[in-house]
Structure 1
Amino acid sequence: MKISNPSTNWSDLAPRVLSAIVLAAIAILAIALGNPIYLILIAVAIGLCVGEFARLLQPSTPKISVLLGGLATLAVFVAGSGINGADPGRGLVTAKTLTLLIPPLLGAVLIKEHRLLFLSYCSLIMLAGLGFIAMGPGPVLIWFLMIIIMSDVAGYFVGRTMGGPKFWPRISPKKTWSGTVAGWVGALLIGLLGATQGVFTPTEALFAPLIAFAGQMGDIVASAIKRKVGVKDSSNLIPGHGGMLDRFDAMIGAAGLLMVLTGAASLFVST
């Protein structure tokens, strides 16, 4: 019988925590300073995600990844300048926000292999960028980040402590059902707490586990992509986390779903 060393389960804890603290400090500063600093931070983060994704699919031509990453950064900045912070929902579909389609469409032409994969996932990354723009540097964004962080932290510690059946062993061998469910419960608690503070309605708070699940699926989708191309991390930019895409994969899934729910709700209300 194979006996595992429990200490190996926590070998990545220190660099993960230190990197998370640095990233959290940068995010808090950007939120506190507001636009244009916040918008620049989001634009750069999305650009790095797109650039890393392009390099995963076509590492032989790094210039294409730099080009697509730069275009994604510029597109997010242009789109963000067209959003009305007082009423972001009114500015989600404009000529400026449609520039977010340029990187996935151009990449689908330039990337020689996995073109459909690039088009679809890059579109999700850009949609997530629009979501971060729409939430803006305010309370909704803070509580959104708290939901994702709580889901990740609860899933990490409960999953590593309790173990048990794997959630999707072929794609993400470290994820367990215990950690996945713990993430849903943690997200729900944050959602309910936000409802008591007037950030969400009680009904909206019940969607917190769904947002957490979208984040978990965002992580799994990114893991599947990396397995498909045979790499562990999207880059080595962030110690303990890999690349920007490794750190933002859950937020990309969650923010993408949030934008879909927002769009569906606006159509329902308008009808």
Structure 2
Amino acid sequence: MSDASGKWGDLAPRLISGAGMAVGGLTLVWLGGVWFAALATVAAALMVWELAAMTDRARPVEAVALGALAAIALAVVLMRHESPYLLPLLFLPSLVGILRPRRPMRLEYGLYSLMIMVASYGLVAFRDGYGMLWLMWLVLVVVVTDIAGYFAGRILGGPKFWPRVSPKKTWSGTAAGWIAAAAVGLIFLGISTAGIDLLWISALLAFFSQLGDIAESAIKRRAGVKDSSNLIPGHGGLMDRFDGLLGAAIFMLLVAQVVDVPVVRF
């Protein structure tokens, strides 16, 4: 009984937080405009704060200041999105944190905070440039990848994917995430004008979502913490819930730079 309880002990919070992320996120994706931009700004600020706090626990006030800087920088860029000259502002939280004397985990903070800023900006820009349907697909792929990986990993078990970094992640759960993501792509093929390439792109998107999760796990392991924060009681922090979305968003931004992303519709 105790083994079963330990094995599935985090099921309820994962389902609740996953459902909450999906419903809340998709609602604001649907609304778009200032609503989605506000969500991205607040989320980026909180995640930069969490990152700064767990990589340098001796300076909590500085972590709050870096989170506030992230909010201001991202808000300015989003309000003046037509001006590419403001994009370097996205580097500010990373640069300020890196240049702080004697900051521990300097590289990890710099790279991941930049990832947070670029992904948050990119999600809003992607929604404005390519439409709501693409963002709905992206969010659903990330959520389904996480859920399928969780159940397959617990039920099937097997060899670990990267035990030194993420000891709970298995190859069975990783592969299940790819299959589930391809299934989401198949559903969107049936309800939209997207092409057949959406199947393998969905699976690849799932892989980058998993890399985002692994990257955050590596940072937490190095920092010696279990969760990025206690922001969501019993569930951990915002980074713990959006790490996969960050990895997926970075991947789609790269894809959009090298291929023609078509506008799709229902």
TM over 0.5: yes
Partner deviation per Cα, 1:154-192 (whole Å, 9 max, x = no partner) = 111111111111111111111111000000011111112
Name the count of aligned residue pairs: 256
Query: What is the rounded CA distance, in whole Å, between the counterparts of 1:97 and 1:68 in structure 2?
Result: 18
Instruction: Return the offset for 1:240.
Output: 4.3
- Which one-letter code corresponds to 1:6 in the other structure? A
Alignment equivalent of 1:104, drawn from 76, 94, 107: 94
2:44 paired residue among 46, 62, 77: 46
Secondary structure in structure 1 of the residue aligned to 2:231: coil
Which of these residues, 218, 229, 242, is aligned with residue 224 of structure 1?
218
Contact 1:12-1:240 within 8 A present in 2 as well? no
Contact 1:78 1:97 in 2 (8 A): no
1:124 correspondence with 2:118: no
Tell me the equivalent position of 1:135. Answer: 126
Q: Which one is further off, 23-32 or 162-171?
A: 23-32
Provide the aligned C-alpha RMSD in A.
Answer: 2.0
Query: Alpha carbons of 1:254 and 1:199: their partners in 2 closer, same or farther (altered >3 Å)?
Result: farther
One-letter identity of the residue aligned with 1:128: A
After superposition, give the CA deviation of every residue in 1:27-80 in whole Å (9 maximum; x if it has no partner).
233234332121111110011111100111111111111111111112222222
Task: For 1:178-197, list aligned pairs within 5 A.
Answer: 178-197=172-191
| Distance (whole Å) between structure 1 residues aligned to residue 199 and residue 46 of structure 2 | 31
Whole-angstrom CA distance in 2 between matches of 1:192 and 1:25: 21
Quote the Cα distance in structure 2 between the aligned partners of 1:250 and 1:240: 19
Is the 1:234–1:243 Cα contact (8 Å) retained in structure 2?
A: yes
Partner residue, 1:94: 84
The percentage of counterpart residues that share the same residue type is 41
Unaligned 5+ residue runs, structure 1? 84-90, 267-271
Corresponding residue of 1:12:
10
Q: Deviations over 1:74-106 (max 9, x none)?
A: 2222222234xxxxxxx5x70233211111111
Structure 1 length as normaliser, TM-score?
A: 0.88
> For 1:205-233, what per-residue CA distance to the aligned partner results, in whole angstroms no more than 9, with x for missing partners?
32111111111011111111111111100
8 Å contact from structure 1 (residues 167, 180) kept in 2: yes
Which residue of 66, 78, 86 corresponds with 2:64?
Answer: 66
CA distance in 2, matches of 1:9, 1:211: 27
Separation in structure 2 between the aligned mates of residue 134 and residue 167 of structure 1, nearest angstrom: 33
Q: Distance in 2 between matches of 1:151 and 1:23?
A: 14
Measure the CA separation in 2 of the matches of 1:146 and 1:97: 28
SS in 2 for 1:235: coil
Q: What amino acid is aligned across from residue 112 of structure 2 in structure 1?
A: Y
Equivalent position amino acid for 1:123 in 2: L
The aligned residue for residue 161 of structure 1 is 155
Aligned partners of 2:191, 2:77: CA distance in 1, in Å?
31
Which segments of 5 or more consecutive residues in structure 2 lack a partner in the other structure?
261-266
SS at 2:167's partner residue? strand
User: What amino acid is the match of 1:14?
Assistant: A
- Aligned equivalents of 1:199, 1:113: Cα separation in 2: 49
Q: For 1:39 and 1:14, how far apart are their aligned partners in 2?
A: 30
Q: Which of 170, 175, 199 matches 2:169?
A: 175
Most deviating of 154-163 and 204-213: 204-213
Letter in structure 2 aligned against 1:37: W
For 2:38 and 2:44, the matched residues in 1 are separated by: 10
- Alpha-carbon contact 1:80-1:97 (below 8 Å) kept: no
